[in-house]
Structure 1
Amino acid sequence: MKWVYGNYEFENRISNLSWTVAGDYNDDIQISKNEYSSKDIALYFATMAGGRHKYIDWILVKRYLLSRAKMGYDIDVISDLLHITLDRLVEEKIIKERPGIEDIRLSAYKDILSGFSKIHNEEILQKIKYFLVLERMGKHPTIDGLSRRIVNKINEINLNENIVEILRGIDEIYINYFNDTSNKYDNENYENERIINSNIDFDTFSDFMYEELYDNEYSKTIENQISEISSSMLIESLGEVDIKGSKHSSNNVLYVDEETLNKIYKKIEHYYGKSYIGDLELKKIESKCCRGVHEGCRVHFTDGVLRSECSNIAQIKYATRQKENNTRKFRENIKIYKRNILKLKETLLRILIEENEKSRVYCDSGTIYANRAWRATRSNNNKIFYKDIENEKGRYVIDILLDSSGSQTRNQANVAIQAYIISTALTKAGIPNRVMGFSSLMDYTILKRFRDYEDKITNNENIFEYFCAGNNRDGLAIKSICEGLLEREEENKILIVLSDGRPNDIKIGKDRERSIRGEMSYKGMIGAKDTASEVRKARQKGIMVLGVFTGKEIDLEVEKIIYGKDFIYTKDIQRFSDVVSMYLKKIIRN
């Protein structure tokens, strides 16, 4: 969790607040990595993070979710019910201990709601979340009868009971109001389970606590759900963020004084490492790419703080820690990942060998084929010559572009691992490839190079430096990357983009009368259409572009707008390498 203005003293304060509330300075508290522009939001979340750590047994909650996934429950629904109830539990206990937190909560809620351009309350649980938030703010919103009954049942759960009793109450609400949604699972399993669902004996809840549950197919999904519940506020999922109307900005513009702005420009290398592109070349790229909606933007190409000149000790320590975390995750299942690399490499090599084989065609002229010479006078088939036709498909070069914005934080290690698998397999198969990450800070789009085309295979370890922070200006990132890709001499150029389909960036303004970047916000349909335009332009120039979508189903339409038919939706980021493998096989063979 970061304070958007980079006030390290304040960041330390909110971290200490989390530990104080939790009552444990030795343990690692899972907190949000979002950047908050409101101090009240940051302070309130810090208290909630500490409270979640203190009052909730997350291992027990995880085991409960695993058991319910195995029984055919709709995980999204039961997770939302858990989020609502556990959020209420933590809030009530914290406010009872520290009454002043209630005022901070009110201010935080106001700041967040004022920043939404749209409230998502089409689904019943989203509607209930919105109702509960408004109710906590002292308002009296109206709500339909069914939603009111569910809210009453949630409020009837005795939060002074132990966690198992609270889970029993959540289970009853699910069974009574949401059980029909379970039919999206296989019918046989559903029919068997619904018979027992109506009479669950929680005295035998320990039956669901065996460690073997961690190995089933739902485990990875449950990890993500737990992370979402334990590291986000209930209110954060209610709408689309739009800084417009907030006290900090207008029309998605962040206003800062000129002195602060100049410091940002001068310090970009301090935070991200020195650029590997010279000033003259950089200006050429910016003059080509930073136009239209990107007017006034800048791009920064870097190898990161660990492999380029950087004096920021704190940032170096942070990047080192993230790399160690990603590497550790890889080593936990290193045998599986190495098999995946070998399998992908052999598949690519086999296809490339097949496609590079010469095709022999018999004809009336060319090189004589001795075994057919007898036909010249004794047969009407005079094709006694042959020509060997070379493969004209040409060579391949591949760019992998990874969304490194804050929205990908929970997939961080998995993205790094899958990118490593693909890049290593491509390198071993002799296909030049480059791996880049993109995010944005203020009006800079940061393009971090993990691996370049001609790097040795040992340099692939740099991919584990991948970490997520900031916003994302997808269109500018794609446009800038394509400039380098087009300079390659290979005939077949491929760009693979992994993102959540939600371009979102802020503008910088010196004052409210004049902004540096023009008047176009980069979010919603503006961001989507710009990104779609850059994808089409890249394809027109001969680059094959594939989008790999890892976001929520609600954003699928936006992804279709951006990538057309050439995108793949995967709920499991660990299938990223499999998805890309299938795409590459299709491209090479066709």
Structure 2
Amino acid sequence: MKWIYNEYEFDNRVNNLSWTISGKYNEDIDILEKDYSSKDVSLYFAIISGARRKYVDWDMVKKYLVNRINHGYDKETILNLVQITLNNIVESKVIQDRPGVEDIRQKAYKDIVSNFNKIYENEILEKVKYAFILESMGKHPALSGLNRRIVNDIKDININYNMLEVLKGIDEIYLNYFEKIINKSENNIDINYKNSKEIDFDTFSNFMYEELYSEEEEKLVENEINEISSSMLVESIGEINKANLKNSSNRVIYVDEETSNKIYEKIEYYYGKAFLSKSEIKKIETKNCRNVHEGCRVHFTDGVLRSECKNIFQVKYVTRQKENNISKYRDNIKIHKRNINKLKESLLRILIQESSKSRVYSDCGNICANRAWRASRSNNNKIFYKDIDNEKGRYVIDILLDASGSQSRNQAMVATQAYIIATALTLVGIPNRVIGFSSFLDYTILRRFKDYNDEVKKSENIFEYFCAGNNRDGLAIKSVCENLISRDEENKILIVLSDGKPNDIKIGKDTQRSIRGEMSYRGNIAIKDTANEVRRARQRGILVLGVFTGKENELEAERLIYGNDFIYTKNIDRFSDIVSMYLKKIIIN
């Protein structure tokens, strides 16, 4: 595999470092583990990539994470805890074995941190990450009592423990510090693992033997695991200064043709066969995959349950997730049915009112027989009438759901709210389509749960909604609008539900090709691109509403993207109410 330096001797040195540390001479350093900002950073990445292979049982880590997330652990919190702990263990062990590595780390960290224009330390674990990095650089950060206790407890996990003992330590830290915080701040979320503090640690390793979590199913958290296993902790504490990287290919990942083809073969295996022909997809990609999306691909699918898919484990997983979503819906089925009827009746009243005709009397038009006597006996000669048609035209609605990994804890709620809206709209007679979007490497996956002319029964397909991967919002919006704009209805509406800023990586086939794409799809680049696509859609006559359910510190980015037609809610259960109010406003005005 080629990468940015493209120097044989240096590339060979990097691989040799990784081989020497790991002791595994049959594996090249992974493409995601090569850094692009400086040679010092690249050397340290090579060392750490070898150390990860030597010291971490990633198979066990994957099984643990899938098990805990399935039992209600907050995904973001447990992933961050695992990242911080394993990073500390890997770095400590490799420095213990090879003291000279510490000097290389100092240079690498200095180069990385110097490129940041913003350091993230707004939340507990972000401050903990920052503390570990500063202490590694020989500095002494000031910490609150809680943060210091967490840092100390992580350091107390013996670096010479086996991986099962390390995961046990992570579990105890999560339960001691974060379970109450999460339950208190997110009391609307159903935590299944209610008795988690009473875990019998003698049977802690049971997750390794549960058939429910097979090797194939573990791939569903592959993107998050890869983030942990192929990057350093220091990368996640800040935002890169774009000005410092004008001549860098940072986060543009180059792979050879063979690897590229393997990636593309896996898409249908994990997400189901495309419902568009290759020629139709090629046409869409040629038109939409330009500039920042150069070299990207799109995959339109009905999902693994309603299209051809040979991955039986993925089929089982989605079936189970669908059953879980439906089960959560049925827990409050009376309330949800009442909300469907309420939304349906409200929309019907408005549509009937807006489609009624108003009669205006005038001095020309159709004669009104009971006013004819006025012709010669009154100065009011308005004996004719005209019926003014108040019809504002028909409506068509697209609902675009962020299905990236960050939404995983809201899966059942998002599916339920989308089902309520789609069912009510269909009963009223408004054509609507529901699509989930996420990214897998350089593919933007668009999963169609319901199409415009589907009957009400097919709204149940929305319960197939599950979350994984990243989100390339600009390309998703652009691709969806192509079909929406071609509809005959006069009033076209796009509603986008998202819980975070756009975030994706960039793939290039090799360094010799002309790849015009920007670094990674994140930060200002992603925000600007998504905002441009929203404005372009509005210029083409599509009404776009953004519904944001993420963190308050990302609100400004959402405002930049969606402008005035933007709603922030902390409670995903209000999604259908928000959409209802918006639709009423649109129809009336």
TM-score when normalising by structure 1: 0.68
Local SS of the residue matching 1:219? coil
Local SS of the residue matching 2:361? strand
Bigger drift between 257-266 and 300-309 goes to: 257-266
Please say if 1:132 is aligned against 2:122.
no
**Do the aligned partners of 1:405 and 1:439 also contact (CA within 8 Å) in 2?**
yes
Residue 141 of structure 1 aligns with which residue?
A: 139
Residue 528 of structure 1 aligns with which residue?
A: 527
Q: Aligned pair in 2 of structure 1 residues 486, 153: CA closer, same or farther (>3 Å)?
A: closer
Using the TM superposition, give the Cα deviation of residue 397 of structure 1 relative to its aligned residue in structure 2, in angstroms.
Answer: 0.4
Residue 581 of structure 1 aligns with which residue?
A: 580
1:382-408 Cα distance to aligned partner (Å, 9 max, x none): 212211111231000000011111121
Q: Aligned pair in 2 of structure 1 residues 134, 156: CA closer, same or farther (>3 Å)?
A: closer
Residue 363 of structure 1 aligns with which residue?
A: 362
CA distance in 2, matches of 1:398, 1:531: 19
Bigger drift between 515-524 and 542-551 goes to: 515-524
Q: Aligned pair in 2 of structure 1 residues 500, 52: CA closer, same or farther (>3 Å)?
A: closer
User: How does 1:540-551 map onto structure 2 within 5 Å?
Assistant: 540-551=539-550
**Do the aligned partners of 2:295 and 2:507 also contact (CA within 8 Å) in 1?**
no
CA distance in 2, matches of 1:220, 1:103: 41
CA distance in 2, matches of 1:299, 1:49: 28
Using the TM superposition, give the Cα deviation of residue 279 of structure 1 relative to its aligned residue in structure 2, in angstroms.
Answer: 2.1
User: How does 1:110-121 map onto structure 2 within 5 Å?
Assistant: 120-121=119-120
Please tell me the residue identity of whatever aligns with 2:542.
I
**Do the aligned partners of 1:120 and 1:238 also contact (CA within 8 Å) in 2?**
no
CA distance in 1, matches of 2:564, 2:343: 24
CA distance in 2, matches of 1:220, 1:104: 43
User: How does 1:70-219 map onto structure 2 within 5 Å?
Assistant: 103=93, 120-121=119-120, 123=122, 125=124, 128-134=127-133, 138-144=136-142, 147=143, 219=187
Tell me how large the CA RMSD over aligned residues is.
4.7
Please say if 1:255 is aligned against 2:254.
yes
Residue 422 of structure 1 aligns with which residue?
A: 421
Q: Aligned pair in 2 of structure 1 residues 485, 52: CA closer, same or farther (>3 Å)?
A: closer
Local SS of the residue matching 1:493? strand
Please tell me the residue identity of whatever aligns with 1:460.
S
**Length, aligned pairs only:** 471
Residue 477 of structure 1 aligns with which residue?
A: 476
**Do the aligned partners of 1:129 and 1:238 also contact (CA within 8 Å) in 2?**
no
CA distance in 1, matches of 2:275, 2:58: 38
CA distance in 2, matches of 1:405, 1:577: 20
Please tell me the residue identity of whatever aligns with 2:446.
L
Q: Aligned pair in 2 of structure 1 residues 499, 430: CA closer, same or farther (>3 Å)?
A: same
CA distance in 1, matches of 2:67, 2:472: 38
Residue 323 of structure 2 aligns with which residue?
A: 324
1:80-137 Cα distance to aligned partner (Å, 9 max, x none): 9x999x969x969xx9xxx889638999xx89996995654464857742453237x6
Bigger drift between 333-342 and 365-374 goes to: 365-374
Q: Aligned pair in 2 of structure 1 residues 53, 323: CA closer, same or farther (>3 Å)?
A: closer
Using the TM superposition, give the Cα deviation of residue 356 of structure 1 relative to its aligned residue in structure 2, in angstroms.
Answer: 0.6
Q: Aligned pair in 2 of structure 1 residues 465, 148: CA closer, same or farther (>3 Å)?
A: closer
**Do the aligned partners of 1:243 and 1:252 also contact (CA within 8 Å) in 2?**
no
Residue 348 of structure 1 aligns with which residue?
A: 347
User: How does 1:31-50 map onto structure 2 within 5 Å?
Assistant: 40=52, 43=56
Local SS of the residue matching 1:439? strand
CA distance in 2, matches of 1:572, 1:435: 20
Please tell me the residue identity of whatever aligns with 1:457.
V
Using the TM superposition, give the Cα deviation of residue 40 of structure 1 relative to its aligned residue in structure 2, in angstroms.
Answer: 3.6
**Do the aligned partners of 1:401 and 1:497 also contact (CA within 8 Å) in 2?**
yes
Residue 220 of structure 1 aligns with which residue?
A: 188
Structure 2 unaligned regions, length at least 5: 1-48, 158-172, 195-220
Using the TM superposition, give the Cα deviation of residue 575 of structure 1 relative to its aligned residue in structure 2, in angstroms.
Answer: 0.7
Structure 1 unaligned regions, length at least 5: 1-36, 63-79, 161-165, 172-207, 209-213
Using the TM superposition, give the Cα deviation of residue 447 of structure 1 relative to its aligned residue in structure 2, in angstroms.
Answer: 0.9
Please tell me the residue identity of whatever aligns with 2:533.
E
Please tell me the residue identity of whatever aligns with 2:573.
Q
Using the TM superposition, give the Cα deviation of residue 424 of structure 1 relative to its aligned residue in structure 2, in angstroms.
Answer: 0.4
Q: Aligned pair in 2 of structure 1 residues 484, 371: CA closer, same or farther (>3 Å)?
A: same
CA distance in 1, matches of 2:528, 2:50: 30
Using the TM superposition, give the Cα deviation of residue 442 of structure 1 relative to its aligned residue in structure 2, in angstroms.
Answer: 1.7
**Do the aligned partners of 1:243 and 1:253 also contact (CA within 8 Å) in 2?**
no
Please tell me the residue identity of whatever aligns with 1:103.
K
Please say if 1:498 is aligned against 2:488.
no
CA distance in 1, matches of 2:448, 2:457: 15
CA distance in 2, matches of 1:236, 1:466: 33
CA distance in 1, matches of 2:470, 2:400: 15
Please say if 1:239 is aligned against 2:207.
no
**Do the aligned partners of 1:48 and 1:91 also contact (CA within 8 Å) in 2?**
no
1:500-558 Cα distance to aligned partner (Å, 9 max, x none): 24111111133455575644432111111111111111111111011111111111111
CA distance in 1, matches of 2:328, 2:234: 28
Percentage identity across paired residues of the two chains:
58
Using the TM superposition, give the Cα deviation of residue 261 of structure 1 relative to its aligned residue in structure 2, in angstroms.
Answer: 1.0
Using the TM superposition, give the Cα deviation of residue 371 of structure 1 relative to its aligned residue in structure 2, in angstroms.
Answer: 3.2
**Do the aligned partners of 2:416 and 2:463 also contact (CA within 8 Å) in 1?**
yes
CA distance in 2, matches of 1:148, 1:506: 35
1:34-75 Cα distance to aligned partner (Å, 9 max, x none): xxx9994994888789999999xx99x99xxxxxxxxxxxxx
**Do the aligned partners of 2:296 and 2:507 also contact (CA within 8 Å) in 1?**
no
Please tell me the residue identity of whatever aligns with 1:583.
Y
Please tell me the residue identity of whatever aligns with 2:568.
Y
Where relative contact order (Cα < 8 A, 6+ residues apart) is larger, the structure is 2
Using the TM superposition, give the Cα deviation of residue 458 of structure 1 relative to its aligned residue in structure 2, in angstroms.
Answer: 0.8
TM-score when normalising by structure 2: 0.68
Residue 211 of structure 1 aligns with which residue?
A: none
User: How does 1:403-442 map onto structure 2 within 5 Å?
Assistant: 403-442=402-441
**Do the aligned partners of 2:118 and 2:239 also contact (CA within 8 Å) in 1?**
no
Q: Aligned pair in 2 of structure 1 residues 331, 112: CA closer, same or farther (>3 Å)?
A: farther
**Do the aligned partners of 1:404 and 1:467 also contact (CA within 8 Å) in 2?**
yes
User: How does 1:444-455 map onto structure 2 within 5 Å?
Assistant: 444-455=443-454
Please tell me the residue identity of whatever aligns with 1:270.
Y
**Do the aligned partners of 1:131 and 1:141 also contact (CA within 8 Å) in 2?**
no
Using the TM superposition, give the Cα deviation of residue 578 of structure 1 relative to its aligned residue in structure 2, in angstroms.
Answer: 0.6
Residue 314 of structure 1 aligns with which residue?
A: 313
CA distance in 2, matches of 1:422, 1:344: 8
Please tell me the residue identity of whatever aligns with 2:488.
E
Please tell me the residue identity of whatever aligns with 1:564.
G
Q: Aligned pair in 2 of structure 1 residues 38, 392: CA closer, same or farther (>3 Å)?
A: farther
Residue 68 of structure 1 aligns with which residue?
A: none
User: How does 1:246-285 map onto structure 2 within 5 Å?
Assistant: 251-285=250-284
Please say if 1:372 is aligned against 2:371.
yes
CA distance in 2, matches of 1:131, 1:432: 49
Please tell me the residue identity of whatever aligns with 2:373.
W
Bigger drift between 349-358 and 126-135 goes to: 126-135
